[in-house]
Structure 1
């Protein structure tokens, strides 16, 4: 059985990278520090590198509840520490009495600097504070160039892990029935929209499955998949609990609060 049978076709390129990193650790005693990985990519690293053999891995994102994390893949005789993940938490100082910063605004400002999304970890806006987790190698560049977010003037200052905001996702669990596990059918159920309204979102690249844009309405989904529609939030297919007497799938899903 080929290892690729465990993954979707669009994941092949990343699977190949992880196989190379594992081989380098096992055969050449090399250490690989990745950029920030989304949860699906973290799962692929875990599946391929595993906890047996001559290579090992750790994931770290500045907080236990972090969604995006860097991976360190290394020979299993090493004992890496948190500093080796090269992660920095930056506090965003801004006039919070007059402005509110949202996740999308902060991410948009980061991307406008010409940096790759993979250099940015979690973004934590909370009440009148906001923090952004970044790769240490781009901190100086960000501090020099990120001077405003939208119309708001900002300044940045590093903070220790002890002062991280630690925002954790909370899912509101719901159940329902669907005629199939197609992407458009699932999203219609989860977001209480018709399939006719869902399909343009998909075709226009506004829908992500496991943090990757998917533009096929008939895309087949599986338990554990995470979905987002721009402007409508995020959902997750928790379990598929079998079929009803009317031959529909009974599902349990979560909506991000």
Structure 2
């Protein structure tokens, strides 16, 4: 059976990468440390590696239930320690009485410094404290080069993973039924709007799935997909629960409050 038929065409390059990692580990008998993956990529990696008895697959994103996580693919007999994931937690403070800093501001500053998204894990902001998880190999560069976000002077420092803050994100679980898993129909349900409004947002490029802009209303959503709509927040498909008696899809999704 063709492996690729189970995935979207735009995911083929990532599938090729996963197969290359698997080949590398099985032929060289050396572990592979993988940069941060978003939930859909994690799901694909798990699906392809499956129950391969010759390999072990581990994930770590710093926080419990972290959205983005690094992975280690290794021969089955190797033991994996937390330190093997080479994670670094950076922390900075800002004067929250004078400036408001959000997740997108922090991410934007890091990307503007030339850092690839795959090198950055989850970001937590609580009161006037910013914490961000990164790969060890870029932490020194970030500390030296990220000195401001918006209008606030910022100085990041390394801090122990044991000092990580609890994420303030609150996800509310909801259920819905849809005639299909088309993007426009699911946005209509998840964001409580008309289908026409959903179509307009999609056509304007205001909708992302797994952090990629999608402008096709007929795009089909799957489990573990992350959906974001500009100005209306994020949602994620947590489970496809099968069909109703009226042949509609029953889905469970979570919406960020």
TM-score between the two structures when normalised by the length of structure 1: 0.91
Q: Runs (4+) of structure 1 moved beyond 6 Å? A: none
Distance (Å, rounded) in 2 between the aligned partners of 1:51 and 1:248: 32
Deviation at 1:250, TM superposition (A): 4.5
Q: List per-residue Cα deviations over 1:104-124 (Å, max 9, x = no partner).
A: 111111111011111110000
Please state how far the C-alpha of 1:134 moved relative to its aligned partner.
0.8
CA RMSD of aligned residues (A): 2.0
CA distance in 1, matches of 2:218, 2:48: 28
The separation in 2 between residues aligned to 1:60 and 1:195, in whole angstroms, is 38
Tell me the CA shift for residue 5 of structure 1: 2.2
Aligned residue in 1 for 2:240: 239
Query: Partner of 2:21 in structure 1?
Result: 21
Distance in 1 (CA, whole Å) between partners of 2:252 and 2:193 is: 17
| Aligned partners of 1:244 and 1:250 also within 8 Å | no
TM-score (norm 2): 0.91
- The unaligned stretches of length 5 or more in structure 1 are none
List gaps (5 residues or longer) in structure 2.
none
How far apart in 1 are the matches of 2:145 and 2:204?
Answer: 32
* Structure 1 residue 12, shift from structure 2 partner: 1.0
Distance 2:4 2:108 in 1: 34
Counterpart Cα distance in 1 of 2:57 and 2:242: 33
Partner of 1:83: 83
Deviation digits for residues 58-98 of structure 1 (CA, Å, limit 9, x no counterpart): 11111222111111112222212222211110001222343
Q: Measured at CA, do residues 248 and 78 of structure 1 come closer, stay the same or move farther in structure 2, by a change above 3 Å?
A: closer
Task: Give the match for residue 202 of structure 1.
Answer: 202
Residue aligning to 1:183: 183
Contact 1:172–1:256 at 8 Å: present in 2 too? yes
Corresponding residue number in structure 2 for 1:57: 57
Change (3 A) 1:167 1:146: same
Residues 176 and 189 in structure 2, CA contact (< 8 A), matched pair in contact too: yes
1:208-242 CA-to-partner distances (Å, cap 9, x unmatched) read: 22333322101122344331112211123333453
- What number of residue pairs does the alignment pair up? 256
Show CA shifts across 1:21-58 (max 9, x none): 11111111132211110011111111222343222221
Q: How does 1:157-196 map to 2 (within 5 A)?
A: 157-167=157-167, 169-196=169-196
Listed as ranges, the matches of 1:92-171 within 5 Å are 92-167=92-167, 169-171=169-171
